[in-house]
Amino acid sequence: MAKLYSEARRDRVPKQLIPKEETIKFLLDYSKALSVIDYNKMKFEALLN
């Protein structure tokens, strides 16, 4: 997914809006580590790293 996001539309996006590789890696790693638990109509978020 990161590869698709970072390479697919580079020709149509202004240069200042293209994210850096480390930004994409950070967001993907964060989303993999994030766990959301639903309990009695409450949501708990936990980072699992």
Q: What are the tens digits of pLDDT across the range 1-49?
A: 555 555 555 566 677 778 889 999 999 999 999 999 999 999 999 988 7
pLDDT of residue 46: 92
Residues in the chain: 49
Query: In Å, how far from its chain's centre is CA 26?
Result: 7
Domain extent listing, the chain: 2-47
Cα→Cα distances 43→28, 38, 46, Å: 21, 5, 10
- What letter represents residue 38's amino acid? D
